[in-house]
Amino acid sequence: MEKSAFSVSGVVTKTECLKPDAPGLARATDLLRAGRLVAFATETVYGLGADATNARAVASVYAAKGRPSFNPLICHYASAVAAFEDVVPSALAMTLAEAFWPGPLTLVLPRRPESKVAPLAGAGLDTLAVRVPAHPDALALLSAVARPITGPSANPSGQLSPTEAAHVIAGLGGKIDAVVDSGACWVGVESTVLDLSGSGPVLLRPGGLALEDIERLIGPVALVEIDPGPLRSPGMLASHYAPRLPVRLGAISVMADEGLLAFGPPLLGAGATFNLSERGDLVEAASRLFTGLHWLDAVGRELGHARIAVMDIPKVGLGLAMRDRLHRAAAARA
């Protein structure tokens, strides 16, 4: 089953339908390590895989799905040991991992400073959502790639999650490079997401692991309080990263006491400039957004900047997601 079209990178391609055998998994591994997009089955639903350490690959996930904002993505690993190289596990996290990994449980934990996961994968936050899936084909692929792999549902944003390869092709055929056809997913709903980054466990999203099973092991779990703010992690609405320097949007000129987040030909006169994409490539720009904000915030405070000025981003494609994130960063603060 194949479908020809332009890929998110602009190169003519076909969505390959791969078997979960040695040649198929080897092909999927090569594609993922090269920064391409490959859908794969987990026990819950089919996930849209990309190298989570490759910012451009992560941006391509958002582009392929048409995701309206940069919500944090769940990173998938072949083992708890591998997952805990990118996050700081508490004793509670290790207890849960021993009991329920591999399995349909995602844990949100503090991100390690040395983590190589692209900031975009975590939406620029100080936490990461991690899990070890139970599907043998997924584990084989993750072991072969030997890098954290994203796994949001492999469907256009807002549509039904796919539980068969045919569902993936119907929604994303021609937009991704391949899908590994492992048959139907046996759980059929997304993973349960549990936040362990605060003072106590909080259920962010009910899913394939029953809350009762979790509470039998660790005791009561709080439910997330709904907040109209940006997503802190999959299933949760709460606080988010914003620069300490104020952000000024829609800049058409810039002062010497301002840092500049540029898109396309930069404005002159800034104290420091970070260009998201000199050629106006929205995928490249999205992959560099959080890196640029962090850099301008740090350098700007060293140089005594008053604020970060941001050039306009087009209201198309990933530009919509970038504008959403920048508006949140520029919002009035308490």
pLDDT tens digits, one per residue of 5-15: 333 444 436 89
Q: Could you give the CA distance from residue 274 to residue 279 in angstroms, rounded to a whole number?
A: 13
pLDDT of residue 10: 43
* Distance set, CA 52 to CA 5, 73, 83, 122, 238 (Å): 24, 9, 12, 9, 23
Mean pLDDT for the stretch of residues 98-125: 95
Q: Is 304 left (phi over 0), alpha (psi -120 to 50) or beta?
A: left
Domain boundaries, the chain: 4-237, 247-330
Q: Could you give the CA distance from residue 312 to residue 276 in angstroms, rounded to a whole number?
A: 11
- In CATH terms, is domain 4-237 a member of 3.20.20.370? no
Q: Could you give the CA distance from residue 180 to residue 185 in angstroms, rounded to a whole number?
A: 12
pLDDT of residue 106: 96
Q: What is residue 326's three-state secondary structure?
A: helix
Confidence of residue 67 (pLDDT cuts 50, 70, 90): confident
247-330 sits in which CATH class?
Answer: alpha beta
CA dihedral of 294, 299, 304, 309, whole degrees rounded to 10: -50
Q: Could you give the CA distance from residue 191 to residue 275 in angstroms, rounded to a whole number?
A: 37
Each residue of 72-108: pLDDT tens digit?
899 999 999 999 999 999 999 999 999 999 999 999 9
Confidence of residue 210 (pLDDT cuts 50, 70, 90): confident
Higher pLDDT, 269 or 240: 269
